[in-house]
A and B are shown apart, each in its own frame.
Chain A
Amino acid sequence: MAAAATEPRSLPANPLARGLKEGLGAALLAFGLAVPILALRTEQNISNQLVLQPRWHYVGFAVLAAFLGRLLFVLATSAAAPRRPKAAAPAAFPAGAARALSILGLLLLLLYPVLALAIAGRAGAVKWIDNFGVQILIYIMLGWGLNIVVGLAGLLDLGYVAFYAVGAYSTALLAQNFGLSFWLCLPLAGILAAFWGILLGFPVLRLRGDYLAIVTLAFGEIIRLVLINWVPVTNGYAGISGIPRPTFFGLPFNASDSGFAAFFGIEFSPLHRIIFLFYVILALALITNWVTLRLRRLPIGRAWEALREDEIACRALGINTTNTKLTAFAMGAGFGGFAGSFFAARQGFISPESFTFMESAVVLAIAVLGGMGSQIGVAIAAAVMIGGTEILRELEWLKQIFGSAFDPAQYRMLLFGLAMVLVMVWKPRGLVSFRRPSIFLREARPVRADMVKEGSG
């Protein structure tokens, strides 16, 4: 820090003095914001009365963090400012390198369970494959599904979790009432969710931008409230349990004689199912990705992207915007339904708690922060956001510093919200903001972020 403070002396205003001044302002602001929410905690005592517990040291932390954060920010930006080139050239990504990278990533994903087993051993691998691998892949799939609606067609959907819920509940109800297996439920759930996508898409065809977002949010909440209150069918808050697990070509993953382990003559282990589930969701996610990439090259995909750029021009050119929007909704919803079906079969139990607005916001955050329309960006965002919040559960050493009552996991949504704001302020176009055009003259040149204007209509 000292080096950074002394080096850029030639700059117009002394950055250290400016940093200290702005840091002081930030500290003052942090103090105002932190009092009283951080300083005094309301707790119920034995006679159910609220009493205040002073915790002024929290305010101290906040003020210190704000001061240092602002100071370092000012120093860092003033040190970096003269060196920055005027116009940052777009990170031109050679096509070959991108291809090699995606093949490498794919290989890594395919080998992931093996690697996890090799590194963490049998006991540790469950956590790494299930909590990280499967969890992240579900969100990657949801992110890619929503990417069709938000990234390609430019329709901001805040109620995406509704289709996830439709898929999950379809699977649960079909399995429970008609005894269908997971492999039959999966396509049906996708079709039903796509149908719901069209149904909910119809009324909102005329809306755009923020209004569309709010109406989809309302629909998502309505579906959740109906799931809670329609007790005879959905069993309300209690949820549905006993959803059949996926089988390996009819072989269940259990210790019985007709099970997977017995058939192949290997020792039974619950790990088999987890690894199998990993490959199922990996396949589903890759199908989503593949379909999206192919659709982008079809007339309908081009129509989606045209719609995102300018709806009025689209109509003038004779594109049927109704069909274009509805197919985008239906495709996105269908993939959400597949993911929901997988979710239900993986958990074996579902309840409305899993389909709150927060889930929609998380999926939307992944789709947007990854760079709308960019497949690899979505995957990275899902891995960072979901993996990052899962890792918080693992940080046991923090307990040794802050005492045993400190639970890092409860900060995950707090950090999630903060990350959303920070990424938006830092890179409003998302992490991967350039994209490769699907149609071009002679050579494909990546389109720079400021040339891409999504969802502005």
Chain B
Amino acid sequence: MEYLLQQIINGVTLGSIYGLIAIGYTMVFGIIGMVNFAHGDVFMLSTFIALIFLLLLTQVLGLGSLAIALFIVLILAMLLTSLWAWAIERLAYRPLRGSFRLAPLISAIGMSIFLSNLVQVTQGPRNKPVPSILGEVITLSEREGYSVTLSYRQILIVVVTGVLLLAFWYIVQKTSLGRAQRACEQDRRMAALLGVDVDRTISLTFVIGAALAAVAGLLFMIYYGVVNFNDGFVPGVKAFTAAVLGGIGSLPGAVLGGLLIGLIETLWSAYFSIDYKDVATFSILAVTLVFLPSGLLGKPEVEKV
């Protein structure tokens, strides 16, 4: 029982990170119907941006307070990652809008290769161990020598995710940007006729997705304590799985899917086989797409002739 509780805590933490990345996939798919294959690598890039600024603030500038340092790192990582996403959309995807459907996907795959290799070349191929942050734990219960613990990082991850999701929900539901976004999602041409700046809305969608991925990147770095140039692909595919499982295009679905994938992955590792945990996630991806293509909360797609 204690073991299960511990795994659930770990799973929810991991799921929060996946959920944050998944929103980027689901929003972009919702608005332009494209799988942004490079999103996982944008996330990876953000972990490196966060790592570099953290080192810069704590080592070079000697900032004493960790909380302030983390806050500045968060803001800078969000800004710079957003800039990258904006540039990628502008240079690699926008010229291909209206081209045949596979063109943006292939461009995105090229971008993904470019980003991961850029980080490999500029930062080196080795794992980067991050100094431990917020490693202290709270012991929730202790019985028969097994204790259930909750670390400060886990609390931080879940709280930050929750707050951001609320802010994000507010943007999408209540602001004019959110309205423009939902209008573009429903009918891009009609939205343009009614005076919505479609290009700007799509750019902002990429920017918001990247900003959330940057938050996920910082949390990922704190949680695992190590970053690598290769960390974009597998978390990216898992987050995409989360988006698909929750119903692609649906924002609550992305969060729900993220939590489910996090839980499944942790429980699978704990009770079955840790070697095959990625096989489990990839199988869920395949099974969902084949048997439940609209996901748990998505709208079924109507095929028009």
Contacts and interface: CB of A to CB of B under 8 A. Distances in A.
Contacts of A226: 279
Interface in A39-68: 40-44, 48-52, 58
Given A42-B128, A214-B240, 15 more contacts: A32-B83, A37-B118, A37-B122, A44-B129, A203-B290, A210-B101, A218-B283, A219-B282, A229-B275, A410-B120, A421-B114, A424-B110, A425-B95, A428-B103, A456-B100
A81 interface: no
Given A32-B83, A410-B121, A428-B99, A42 B105 contact: no
Interface in A274-326: 312
B297 interface: no
Contact of A420 (B55, B56, B113, B131): B113
Interface string B67-95: 00000000000001001100100011001
Interface in A403-423: 410-411, 413-414, 416-421
Contacts of A217: 237
Contacts of A38: 122
Interface string B268-300: 000000011011001101100110010000000
A207 interface: yes
Interface residues of A, number: 64
B143 interface: no
Contact of B126 (A37, A44, A207): A44
Nearest to A205: B290
A445 B82 CA distance: 47
B49 to A, nearest CB: 6
A33 interface: yes
23 contacts: A36-B49, A37-B45, A41-B123, A42-B123, A50-B128, A52-B59, A203-B290, A210-B101, A214-B244, A214-B285, A214-B289, A215-B286, A218-B237, A219-B282, A221-B278, A222-B279, A222-B282, A225-B282, A229-B279, A365-B106, A410-B120, A418-B110, A424-B110
B177 interface: no
Nearest to B98: A428
Contact of A43 (B124, B278, B289): B124
Contacts of A50: 51, 55, 128-131
A185 interface: no
Nearest to B29: A210
B109 interface: yes
Interface string B158-178: 000000000000000000000
A109 interface: no
B38 to A, nearest CB: 9
A364 B48 contact: no
A225 B276 contact: yes
Nearest to A32: B83
Contact of A52 (B34, B49, B56, B233): B56
A168 interface: no
Interface of A: 29, 32-33, 35-38, 40-44, 48-52, 58, 156, 158, 203-204, 206-207, 209-211, 213-215, 217-219, 221-222, 225-226, 228-229, 312, 357-358, 361, 364-365, 368, 410-411, 413-414, 416-421, 424-425, 428-429, 453-456
Interface string B133-149: 00000000000000000
B217 to A, nearest CB: 13
A204 B290 contact: yes
A368 B122 contact: no
B129 A421 contact: no
Interface in B214-258: 233, 237, 240, 244
B106 A424 contact: yes
Contacts of A218: 237, 282-283, 285-286
Contact of A417 (B45, B112, B276, B286): B112
Contacts of A207: 289-290, 293
A209 B107 contact: no
A211 B289 contact: yes
B118 to A, nearest CB: 6
Given A52-B52, A214-B285, A312 B293 contact: no
B60 interface: yes
B52 A37 contact: yes
A51 B59 contact: yes
A419 B112 CA distance: 12
Contact of A364 (B83, B109, B279): B109
B121 A229 contact: no
B111 A417 contact: yes
A381 B211 CA distance: 36
A157 to B, nearest CB: 11
A414 B103 contact: no
A368 B56 contact: no
B123 A312 contact: no
B213 interface: no
A37 B113 contact: no
Contact of A37 (B102, B119, B130, B131): B119
B35 interface: yes
B108 to A, nearest CB: 9
B114 A414 contact: yes
Contact of B233 (A29, A228, A357, A429): A357
B282 A33 contact: no
A247 to B, nearest CB: 38
Given A37-B119, A52-B55, A428 B100 contact: yes
A36 B48 CA distance: 9
Contacts of B59: 51-52
Nearest to A217: B237
Contacts of B106: 364-365, 368, 420, 424
B156 interface: no
Given A40-B52, A52-B52, A368-B106, A416 B113 contact: yes
Nearest to A156: B102
A440 B134 CA distance: 71
